[in-house]
Amino acid sequence: MYDVAKIRGDFPILSREVNGKPLVYLDNGASAQKPRVVIDAIHRAYAEEYANVHRGLHTLSNIATEKYEAVRGIVARFLNAGREEEIILNSGTTEGINMVAYGWAMPRLEAGDEIILSVMEHHANIVPWHFLRERQGVVLKWVDVDSTGALDPQAVIDAIGPRTKLIAVTHLSNVLGTRVDVRTICREARARGVAVLIDGSQAAVHQPVDLQEIGCDFYAVTGHKLYGPSGSGAIYVTSDRMAEMQPFMGGGDMIREVTKETVIYNDPPMKFEAGTPGIVQTIGLGVALEYMMDLGMANIAAHEDALRDYTVAQLSGLNWLQTQGTTPDKAAIFSFTMEGAAHPHDISTILDKKGVAVRAGQHCVGPLMTHMGITASCRASFGLYNTTDEVDVLVEALELAHDLFA
């Protein structure tokens, strides 16, 4: 049984107050809170087991290396990647996507080649592709979402032309909560020889991910949203694409031999991990993923889907609130604006006075904001520890904000 009260006990920060009220943390889309097992693992790694990895032949270095390297396998298991050699450990999604842009796309794409993006991508899955547009004349093709926020996989497939080299698409929108049928996109793209990069930053937090079933080329995740430390993350790259990819950064660890004349690179995935990595962050990420797997990703998804249904029902009673993203199978992520003069920043300030943490602003989705015809919104994004009681507190706080601004 999914015991949310017990789970909440695993997260020390959830028992604190904010502005004299119990914290209601609904900013999980930006970054999630950390369970005690992760905090303890970080402490232990520094207090008892710290040294640089891969380099030393002494006990502490061996322990740190073993713990760090074990995370590759944990990430592979978490994403059902099949082979842990296909996991590159890094600092998060932004680094992962930039690695693909610089290491795989830049050497291969030419002026006039196309990259397909959905309009609801996060800037981390837009700006690296703009680099290719600016520097190499690559063409960015955009696919819209409909008025519910749904992305029709057929529209993505229909956008493929003879010059399309890559589709870069989110698995789950950080603002609308929309889930994307990436499996269909990957199947059809593969049949047409087009690579697919999936931004899994949000999806991996809220639902089981099975990369062997999805069949993508690249899949990026970011540790701090997965209840792990900031500065940790990973990108899955198939062996075939890894063989095509050039290193994005050069330095220690990614080489086997360096002379004045030449460099011999390490085998992948090490070839793509230059310099001292986020050792402790990555160890913490492994613990966080084990924690999620112990709870069960299907159980987490079921809990959050029930929270979504409850929230949809409660918010539907507020006829002065406009919600963006209404697909029935969406994740528990709610973007909303309030009728009248209330700016999302003002609303979030009122909510904060009630202990409710939400995000307000553009949420790093400029093209989506333009598509929706708004400049900012508030976002309440739920995590594995949130409760229906917290939804009630959110609704009360919204009613207060509405009374103040109406």
- Residues between 349 and 378 that touch ligand PLP (CB under 6 A): 364
Half-sphere exposure of 242 (CA within 13 A, CB side): 20
- Residues between 203 and 242 that touch ligand PLP (CB under 6 A): 222, 224
Q: What is the dihedral sign for C-alpha 46, 48, 51, 55?
A: negative
C-beta separation of 245 from 104 below 8 A: yes
Size of the site for ligand PLP (CB under 6 A): 14
* 34, 122, 179, 271: residue in contact with ligand PLP (rule CB under 6 A): 122
> Which stretches within 83-181 are classed as H helix?
93-100, 106-108, 127-136, 153-158
Closest separation in Å from C-beta 199 to ligand PLP: 5
Q: What is the DSSP string of 274-342?
A: -SS--HHHHHHHHHHHHHHHHH-HHHHHHHHHHHHHHHHHHHHT-TTEEEE---TT--SEEEEEESSS-
Asked if 98 interacts with ligand PLP (CB under 6 A), we say no
Give the residue carrying structure tokens 């009728």.
Answer: 339
The residue range among 11-19, 70-78, 86-94, 387-395 that interacts with ligand PLP, by the rule CB under 6 A, is 86-94
Q: Which is nearer to ligand PLP, 116 or 342 (CB)?
A: 116
Asked if 33 interacts with ligand PLP (CB under 6 A), we say no
* 201, 281, 282, 337: residue in contact with ligand PLP (rule CB under 6 A): 201
Q: What is the dihedral sign for C-alpha 166, 172, 178, 183?
A: positive
Query: Is 378 considered catalytic here?
Result: no
Tokens of 401: 């904000």
Q: Which residues pair with 220 in a beta bridge?
A: 199, 235
Distance CA 153, CA 176 (A): 17
Closest CA to 380 of 371, 367, 368, 393: 393
Closest separation in Å from C-beta 327 to ligand PLP: 16
Asked if 93 interacts with ligand PLP (CB under 6 A), we say yes
Asked if 199 interacts with ligand PLP (CB under 6 A), we say yes
- 314 contacts: CB under 8 Å, gap ≥ 6: 391, 392, 395
Q: Which is nearer to ligand PLP, 164 or 281 (CB)?
A: 281
* 28, 98, 170, 238: residue in contact with ligand PLP (rule CB under 6 A): 170
Asked if 90 interacts with ligand PLP (CB under 6 A), we say no
The residue range among 121-129, 143-151, 235-243, 325-333 that interacts with ligand PLP, by the rule CB under 6 A, is 121-129
Instruction: Note if the bond before 107 is cis, omega within 30 degrees.
Output: no
Asked if 149 interacts with ligand PLP (CB under 6 A), we say no
Closest separation in Å from C-beta 171 to ligand PLP: 8
Give the residue carrying structure tokens 């937090």.
Answer: 205
Asked if 94 interacts with ligand PLP (CB under 6 A), we say yes
The residue range among 16-24, 60-68, 91-99, 151-159 that interacts with ligand PLP, by the rule CB under 6 A, is 91-99
Closest separation in Å from C-beta 239 to ligand PLP: 24
Binding positions for ligand PLP, rule: CB under 6 A: 92-94, 122, 124-125, 170, 174, 199, 201-202, 222, 224, 364
Active site residue ranges: 364
